[in-house]
Structure 1
Amino acid sequence: AGESLKYHATRTDQNGQSRAYFQGRLMQCRNCPKKHQCMQNPEAANHRKGKGRQVSFTLENKRLPNYTDWMKHRVDSQKGKEIYSHRMSVVEPVFGNIGTNKRLNRFSLRGRKKVQGQWQLYCLVHNIEKLANYGRLAA
């Protein structure tokens, strides 16, 4: 009927698409002669807790691919899956062990040389621990 709708919110629906929601004011819809054609439940405009006309639009995502999309594509490829499967056997458990078990969440020294020395001490302890636990030869 020529009335404007007020922007309400933008939310993601169950399909993962962004939707913009708009709503008419209740007083606009209450006296509108076209409310029976416009609203699914025109009686909602007649009581105090009702709502006016509600409309939502799907927002099209027309952005260009970024670096995150590029990396997702690389990791999801066959070669990427092969490389990614080796991560747990290479270096990540080392950082987990040093950060969690040895509780190194920040360095206590300042300066590049001192921090490098502290890091090398933690790595040395990690390697000695590996030798003590797993380095024994089977008899």
Structure 2
Amino acid sequence: MIGRIVLAVVACSQFTNANAQDIDTKLLTQEASKNMAQEYVTCAAFYAVGARCFAGDKDPSDREHMQRAAVLAMRRAAEYADKVGINLKDTIESYRFEFNGMAEKINTDCQKLEILISEHGERCKLLMSHSTTNLN
């Protein structure tokens, strides 16, 4: 009888540990998805500010590339946000906040775009290079 109780206690503790690990994994996955959504939102805003700065260029290729990157980043942000129950309205609001903050940071002076490039350029380039959809 005592042997069965010990086996039951051991089995329950292993089951509890397995459940705790599953819960930890789910929480980490949710947190990672939230972080990825925010990273993509930030990059979408960065590329959109860049596209706005290139709006007056005679050669539209830089502006178009930045616009495509911004759209793709927002798609990815929405996908990650949706995985954790963040609605599209909140994702768009986060984008607007990021966009306005970046525009304000350079005082809408595109000569200061280098400030944003130094803060976000490499990280966004890396993030977008791991995206599954090509920018072209």
Same fold by TM-score, threshold 0.5 exceeded? no
Which has more radius of gyration? Answer: 1
Name the structure where strand makes up a greater proportion of residues: 1
Name the structure where helix makes up a greater proportion of residues: 2
TM-score scaled by length of structure 1: 0.22
TM-score scaled by length of structure 2: 0.23
Looking at both structures, which has the greater relative contact order when contacts are Cα pairs under 8 Å and sequence separation is at least 6? 2
